[in-house]
Amino acid sequence: MARKILVIDDDAMMLTILSKALDKEGYDVYVAKNGTEGLALARASRFDLVICDINMPDVSGFDVLREIKRTSPSTMVINITAFGSIKDAVKAVHMGAVEYVVKPFPLEEMTGLVGRLFNQGEESGDSSRHATGDDVVNSLVCNSEGMKKVFSILEKCAPSESNILITGENGTGKDLVARYIHLKSPRRDKIFLPVNCAAIPSEMFEGEMFGHEKGAFTGASRNREGMFSLANGGTLFLDEVTSMPPELQGKMLRALESREIMKVGGSGFEPVDIRVLAATNVNLAEHVANNRFRKDLYYRLKVFEVNVPPLRERVEDIEPLCSYYVSFYNKRLGKTIREVGPAVVARFKKYGWPGNVRELKNVIERGMILCDSDAVGLRDIPMELFGDVGDALTPGTTLKDEMHNYEKTFITKVLQKVGNDRKKAAELMGIGLSSLYRKMEELGIKSNSPPEN
């Protein structure tokens, strides 16, 4: 049965976008445009998850959270907070919210989080648990020598207090590794606070990190805690660390070395007890060589360095990742697909995966949506995966013929799947509507649907 989700937000646009995205994921989605309406719905029916904005005019997100935790403790609550109100977010988590998400966020972040929460709940048989614990640990597939090496380093350095720099291409799993480190450390029951350095405007960076005193600058109408204070006792994860403004790198270094911070406009230092993890997908050493990143800060961050290898260098992980995500998406999509077929796996092993595990995960999800047998077959996989140089085609056919046939079958099938809704089909295939029309004409695909308006 589909999971029931209630989304509460007074921002109509946000409400629409979010509910559509969750609906597309196969959840049973209800919406409420304010806190009063949300609470009424929550009283009338039990939800597996409530996603609720904190800042609403009538009933605040805190009130909604309190009421839901009182009347239906097993309902998970995710709070949405505005950028810059991280203190609210932390308060929400203390009040029992399972997670918080800071606006603006990519939709993928929310859908990914929701999927993870449900998946964990199902595996543990309890949907009220926090997004911590063994779930993250269990969800990490690691079969290859490359990943085993990563984990043997993590075994040693995670329980220590040392700062760790996590490097790797986009989508290799740096985020997951950071959470894993936190969970394997003595701080596991304390806060894990991820901060995306690229998402903070540089003029606000210092205040966001270290906090500010009332009146420190125009607009500072009250005292504010920074990330360092909020993460006190726990782990601060500085994601995309190279995006940190250069002029603040000195101050950051000082904070890491002395474990003391000074608020903007403050007059004295306060001690903080944090462990810092940092991640980057660019070559930080090169940045240092080009004087774009302070060398001393670099060395301070990389007491240990963990490089998560790209997927193409650890093909042994592909099969276990397929099994993991088949069961993951079976639950989400309500399907009973057995496996990703051997021909597809063989193809996957030859592909370069520029988007790494994230890309593989998306391809599996899409394949499972299209699949109408019990195994994801070549037909359910996007054609670009067939375009790799060195692919062995059936002898006697030209590449052009193969591609033509494949494209034709694939597009026809997608169109059938979506009831000839060309717009939807184009979306699903990741191409523009006009490209789809062109392709249909080129391949001689006839569609009976009325033209798009």
Ligand X SMILES: Nc1ncnc2c1ncn2[C@@H]1O[C@H](COP(=O)(O)OP(=O)(O)OP(=O)(O)O)[C@@H](O)[C@H]1O
Give the interface segment with Mg ion, choosing from 22-30, 154-162, 167-175, 219-227 (CB under 5 A): 167-175
Residue choice 361, 368, 415, 426 for contact with ligand X (CB under 6 A): 361
Choice between 39 and 114, CB closer to ligand X = 114
Residue choice 165, 176, 238, 369 for contact with ligand X (CB under 6 A): 176
Is 240 among the residues that bind Mg ion (CB under 5 A)?
A: no
Q: 64 in helix, strand or coil?
A: helix
Q: How far apart are CA 374 and CA 372, in angstroms?
A: 7
Binding partner selected for residue 301 from Mg ion, ligand X, none, CB under the kind-specific 5 to 8 Å limit = none
Q: Give the interface size with ligand X as a residue count (CB under 6 A).
A: 19
Neighbouring CB atoms inside 10 A of 396's CB total: 6
- Location of structure tokens 């079958």: 409
Give the interface segment with ligand X, choosing from 164-172, 213-221, 339-347, 380-388 (CB under 6 A): 164-172
HSE, side-chain direction, 13 A CA sphere, residue 154? 26
Phi, psi (degrees; rounded to nearest 5) at 98 = -80, -25
Distance, CA of 285 to chain centre: 26
Q: How far apart are CA 197 and CA 238, in angstroms?
A: 6
- Location of structure tokens 């740096």: 174
DSSP 4: E
- Which residue type sits at 116? R
Q: How far apart are CA 158 and CA 39, in angstroms?
A: 42
Q: How far apart are CA 412 and CA 417, in angstroms?
A: 9
Choice between 84 and 112, CB closer to ligand X = 112
Residue choice 174, 187, 263, 366 for contact with ligand X (CB under 6 A): 174
Per-position DSSP letters for 318-376, written without gaps between them: HHHHHHHHHHHHHHHHT----EE-HHHHHHHHHS--TTHHHHHHHHHHHHHHH--SSEE
Residue nearest to ligand X (CB): 173
Choice between 235 and 281, CB closer to ligand X = 281
Residue choice 19, 79, 167, 172 for contact with ligand X (CB under 6 A): 172
Give the interface segment with ligand X, choosing from 46-54, 66-74, 137-145, 221-229 (CB under 6 A): 137-145
Binding partner selected for residue 361 from ligand X, Mg ion, none, CB under the kind-specific 5 to 8 Å limit = ligand X
Is 175 among the residues that bind Mg ion (CB under 5 A)?
A: yes
Choice between 32 and 113, CB closer to ligand X = 113
Is 169 among the residues that bind Mg ion (CB under 5 A)?
A: no
Instruction: Using CB under 5 A, list all residues that contact Mg ion.
Output: 174-175
Instruction: Using CB under 6 A, list all residues that contact ligand X.
Output: 112, 139-142, 168, 170-176, 281, 321, 324, 357-358, 361
